[in-house]
Amino acid sequence: MKVVKFGGSSVANADQIHKITNIIESDPSRKVIVVSAPGKRYKEDTKITDLLINLGELIEQNQSSEDIYGQISDRFQSMIAELGLSGDVWSKIKDKIDGSIDLIKQGDKQGIDALKSCGEDGSALLVSAYLQHKGTPASYVNPKEAGIVVRDQPGGAIVLEESFEKLFELRSREETLVIPGFFGFTPEGKLVTFSRGGSDITGSIVAAGLKAELYENFTDVDSVYCVNPMIVENPKQLTSLTYREMRELSYAGFSVFHDEALIPAFKEKIPVCIKNTNNPSAPGTMIVAELPEREGHVVGIASDTGFLNLYVSKYLMNREIGFGRRLLQILEDEGVSFEHAPSGIDDMSVVLRENQLPKKKEEVVVQRIKDELKVDMVMIEREMAMIMIVGEGMNQTVGIASNAARAFREAGVNIEMINQGSSEVSMMFGVKSHNLSTAVQSLYKTFFESASITKDPVHRDF
Amino acid sequence: MKVVKFGGSSVANADQIHKITNIIESDPSRKVIVVSAPGKRYKEDTKITDLLINLGELIEQNQSSEDIYGQISDRFQSMIAELGLSGDVWSKIKDKIDGSIDLIKQGDKQGIDALKSCGEDGSALLVSAYLQHKGTPASYVNPKEAGIVVRDQPGGAIVLEESFEKLFELRSREETLVIPGFFGFTPEGKLVTFSRGGSDITGSIVAAGLKAELYENFTDVDSVYCVNPMIVENPKQLTSLTYREMRELSYAGFSVFHDEALIPAFKEKIPVCIKNTNNPSAPGTMIVAELPEREGHVVGIASDTGFLNLYVSKYLMNREIGFGRRLLQILEDEGVSFEHAPSGIDDMSVVLRENQLPKKKEEVVVQRIKDELKVDMVMIEREMAMIMIVGEGMNQTVGIASNAARAFREAGVNIEMINQGSSEVSMMFGVKSHNLSTAVQSLYKTFFESASITKDPVHRDF
């Protein structure tokens, strides 16, 4: 049994919905479907979710919202008409939108999340109706019915363990099930959404709960690239990678997946396949727990900007038990999350995402460090970028660091920071943001284009 | 005015004492002298300080101590006789030894420190008497009289700020002053010793307090080597280095200096010169605040064994605000001091000195990490070694990392950890202990023997 998730571009219009039902029907094991909200049909188009968020804001502010409401209604109704479905489907979607609007008007905080979820909910209603229309037995399954129980947490819901057992019961259903992504319900029955892009999370949770043999994630690319195609033109594609590789790549800027989306699937060791709705016969990229060949190759290069370095120095810091802990305590007190904390002998750096330390908070943090830790110096360096090279076993492979360092040298880029040794599958480099592209291009050349280093570094059989 | 410190081998016998008085008399600005206890005269010899420690233990245990007492007495008396000094000098030394023994017998904890300090005290009495004997006006100055006030702390005294002002008053004295190293007095007048090797600390404190133009540290080598001569045969000598370079090199195994000895001198920006008592005309090694040429050269390679890596991993660690802080808190609670804490995304390593985590304590720490942090894995890896390459400006020099990584590769040594980015003057590498020598030899070859990288990397004018 396969769980299949379709992203926003795969349900953006009637044509796309027709395509995905063909994909579903072409493989009888594709039994449980998770859908995103309709995405952009063309570059300047607006995603349904953005329209819904906009609508919610207008209603909260008591402003005129008829225009936006009309756009949402038109998009759903034109799809329904094109697919030859009955007006019934729109009535159901409309009821949910109107119900959410009423909640907002009553000042119920749940209203905004409920309205935001109407895009995915509408997609699921549409797709299940169209499958039935084509003669494939199918049901819409609400996340509450499916058993997706979550903890309500600022910025995004967190799935609760009990969900998985409940989800497993869906295996007894005979028809094809279509579940809207992006939201779940608290044990008290309150609708809450995951963080943005949360349909990937739903898909991963459902695949884990159902112990699927495969979780297929359909998007609009043939496979995952080994490096950001905005930085390197036409880069190599990855046929396979491990969960850990994917997780590290996602962290540092790989946009295929939401950072944590795959974790529920990882935990259950469900293989994941990234495929293209517009080219379903392409093999896609497989993401699995383990790969048999582990030659210590670099399989991907991820990069991200927007970091800063908080540097402190103090004579004899290294003799002061608790110094590092107290520095991190100050950050924690101020609600600042840090990424890494490399230390020297009399100095220590803390690498943060820049958004964690707006100017106002920076002043407070710096003052507290001066006052409470009596440091000799504290300094903030912004506009840092992180580059991560990733590959199973590479940290036990002699020469990877050497090749990487040579790539930076050839690019004329100074390495501001190296963090290696904790993760077995990655090596992290800090550079000034303006050097990012040059450095990544040079690394790509070194690890993916130079035949002398390794032949065919990305294709591995499994 | 120069402050001059002589190490144990420089006061080991009458010949050596004769040599050092010649050194003192050859330069009228050598006005303040700090001396160690008489060291070894030949390889199998025992240092006076070790004899005194042994004597103290025997007395504490109420065992026969006449033999050891006799050895100490013989060494001092034969030096006195050979130098043609009066029996008066031995009476003064004997009074101090006997007084300390009485304190120990009375169960006064101060007794052990007082007895340990008799080696340096004896040296100072001897040297000052011999200078007078040769016609050079000289006085013995006790650290209490000099104003060396310290905080009594387990494992070693810490100098208090008030000392420096008091020491400055010594500038008004006209004769040559001879101060015993290794001890000071608490504000309550209790004698306490610095940590072992503490005469370097005294010298540095005295030089800082007197705002000396130069602090000369006489030992038995012509200069500081750029790498451990036990690992690389006949390595290059350093003519000059900065305080920061010296501090980082000392940390990771350079044995010329006690790790923190130079800090008081550093703070006052007193230049330090390491010289050889047995070859005083050699220029020695200058250690200064700043050097004019900063080409980003590697000036030294330090290395040390005896580290371990405590590795923890947990899914989504990186989203858990306070995780790193809580891990360090556990170590702090258990009195464990850590060196570095590199982190990945879902994992974190803490590098410690092995002596910080004996097996018993390891169990407690590991259990607490499991229980309190709910980690997926915790693992201890022992027998790690650290290698540090050091040089002002090197972290802003493109290519140093590349050369270093290539050296490891050529040696066939895997880099387990890289810590770069916090210190501006060093880059740290973790390797398995058994790879240490091979790696250091390869780094030496790369940075000090290869003409293609940089000509003459160690000689810098200033």
Q: How far is B74 from chain A (nearest CA, A)?
A: 40
B 184-243 residues with CB < 8 A to A: none
Residues of chain A in contact with residue B349, where contact means CB-CB under 8 angstroms, are 421-422
The pLDDT, as a whole number, for residue A155 is 65
Residues of chain B in contact with residue A419, where contact means CB-CB under 8 angstroms, are 342-344, 418-419, 421
- Give the single-character DSSP code of B347: E
Measured torsion, CA atoms of residues A376, A378, A379, A380, in degrees rounded to the nearest 10: 170
Contact B339 A343 (CB under 8 A): yes
Angle at A331 between CA A330 and CA A333, to 5 degrees: 65
Q: How far is B196 from chain A (nearest CA, A)?
A: 16
Contact B402 A409 (CB under 8 A): yes
Contact B422 A342 (CB under 8 A): yes
Contacts of B326 (CB under 8 A, 6+ apart): B372, B373
Residues of chain B in contact with residue A405, where contact means CB-CB under 8 angstroms, are 401-402, 404-406
The least confident of A74-78, B177-181, B357-361 is: B357-361
What tokens were used for A390? 């990733």
Q: How far is A109 from chain B (nearest CA, A)?
A: 25
Span B293-310, average pLDDT: 85
Q: How far is A51 from chain B (nearest CA, A)?
A: 30
Chain A nearest-CA residue for B396: A414
Please check if A8 is assigned to a binding site: yes
CA A388 – CA A397 distance, rounded (Å): 16
CA A146 – CA A185 distance, rounded (Å): 10
Q: What is the pLDDT of residues A162-217, one digit of tens each?
A: 999 999 999 999 999 999 999 999 999 999 999 877 899 999 999 999 999 999 99
Span A123-136, average pLDDT: 97
Q: Which residues pair with A430 in a beta bridge?
A: A386, A417
Contact B417 A418 (CB under 8 A): no
Residue A151 forms contact with B (CB below 8 Å)? no
The pLDDT, as a whole number, for residue B420 is 83
Q: What is the pLDDT of residues B257-285, one digit of tens each?
A: 665 788 889 889 999 999 999 999 999 99
- Of A243, A260, A337, A340, which to mutate for an interface test with B (greatest number of B Cβ within 10 Å)? A340
The least confident of A296-300, A427-431, B140-144 is: A296-300
Please check if A334 is assigned to a binding site: no
The pLDDT, as a whole number, for residue B461 is 36
Please check if A412 is assigned to a binding site: no
Please check if B269 is assigned to a binding site: no
The pLDDT, as a whole number, for residue A372 is 95
Contact A340 B342 (CB under 8 A): yes
Looking at per-residue confidence, does B452 or B253 come out higher? B253
The pLDDT, as a whole number, for residue B462 is 35
Contact A419 B342 (CB under 8 A): yes
**How much is the mean pLDDT over chain A?**
90
- For residue B123, pLDDT over 50 is answered with yes
SS3 per-residue string spanning A350-370: EEEEHHHCCHHHHHHHHHHHH
Span A373-379, average pLDDT: 92
Contacts of B63 (CB under 8 A, 6+ apart): none
The pLDDT, as a whole number, for residue B249 is 84
Residue B342 forms contact with A (CB below 8 Å)? yes
Residue with tokens 């690992």: B231
Span A258-277, average pLDDT: 86
The pLDDT, as a whole number, for residue A454 is 41
Q: How confident is the model at residue B296 (pLDDT cuts 50, 70, 90)?
A: low
Please check if B376 is assigned to a binding site: no
C-beta neighbour count of A453 within 10 angstroms: 15
Residues of chain B in contact with residue A415, where contact means CB-CB under 8 angstroms, are 401, 420-421
**How much is the mean pLDDT over chain B?**
90
Residue B414 forms contact with A (CB below 8 Å)? yes
Strand A176-180 relative to strand A158-159, pairing: unpaired
The pLDDT, as a whole number, for residue B452 is 45
Q: How far is A239 from chain B (nearest CA, A)?
A: 24
Q: How far is B356 from chain A (nearest CA, A)?
A: 12
Q: How confident is the model at residue A314 (pLDDT cuts 50, 70, 90)?
A: confident
Looking at per-residue confidence, does B213 or B338 come out higher? B213
Strand B176-180 relative to strand B138-140, pairing: parallel
Chain B nearest-CA residue for A421: B417
* Domains along chain B with CATH numbers: 2-220 (3.40.1160.10), 300-449 (3.30.2130.10)
Half-sphere exposure of A358 (CA within 13 A, CB side): 2
Contact B422 A349 (CB under 8 A): yes
Q: DSSP 3-state assignment of A33?
A: strand
Identity of the residue in A329, A338, A421 whose CB atom sits nearest the CB atom of B418? A421
CA A191 – CA A144 distance, rounded (Å): 9
Residue A453 forms contact with B (CB below 8 Å)? no
Residues of chain B in contact with residue A337, where contact means CB-CB under 8 angstroms, are 319, 321
Identity of the residue in A339, A348, A397 whose CB atom sits nearest the CB atom of B422? A348
- For residue B459, pLDDT over 70 is answered with no
Q: How confident is the model at residue B295 (pLDDT cuts 50, 70, 90)?
A: low
The pLDDT, as a whole number, for residue A339 is 84
Q: How far is A310 from chain B (nearest CA, A)?
A: 10
- For residue B224, pLDDT over 90 is answered with no
Q: How confident is the model at residue B374 (pLDDT cuts 50, 70, 90)?
A: very high
Percentage of chain A exceeding pLDDT 90: 71
Span A366-391, average pLDDT: 93
- For residue B421, pLDDT over 80 is answered with no
- Of B340, B376, B388, which to mutate for an interface test with A (greatest number of A Cβ within 10 Å)? B340
The pLDDT, as a whole number, for residue A455 is 37
Chain A nearest-CA residue for B328: A325
Looking at per-residue confidence, does A447 or B394 come out higher? A447
Strand A272-276 relative to strand A214-219, pairing: parallel
Residue B299 forms contact with A (CB below 8 Å)? no
Contact B325 A332 (CB under 8 A): yes
Q: What is the pLDDT of residues B60-71, one digit of tens each?
A: 999 999 999 999
Residue B422 forms contact with A (CB below 8 Å)? yes
Which amino acid belongs to residue B36? S
A419-450 burial: b if 16+ Cβ within 10 Å, else e: bbbbbbbbbbbbbbeebbbbbbbbbbebbbee
Q: How confident is the model at residue A259 (pLDDT cuts 50, 70, 90)?
A: low
Closest alpha carbon to A236 in A248, A223, A249? A223
Q: What is the pLDDT of residues B149-202, one digit of tens each?
A: 999 876 678 899 999 999 999 999 999 999 999 999 999 999 999 987 789 999
Size of interface A-B (CB pairs under 8 A): 176
ipTM for the predicted complex = 0.71
Contact B415 A420 (CB under 8 A): yes
Q: How confident is the model at residue A459 (pLDDT cuts 50, 70, 90)?
A: very low
Closest alpha carbon to B131 in B25, B14, B279? B25
Q: What is the pLDDT of residues B315-336, one digit of tens each?
A: 777 777 788 899 999 999 998 8
- For residue B455, pLDDT over 50 is answered with no
The pLDDT, as a whole number, for residue A73 is 97
Q: Where are the beta strands (DSSP E) in B61-140?
A: 138-140
The pLDDT, as a whole number, for residue B454 is 41
Q: What is the pLDDT of residues A43-58, one digit of tens each?
A: 899 999 999 999 999 9
What tokens were used for B108? 């006064």
Residues of chain B in contact with residue A247, where contact means CB-CB under 8 angstroms, are 345-346
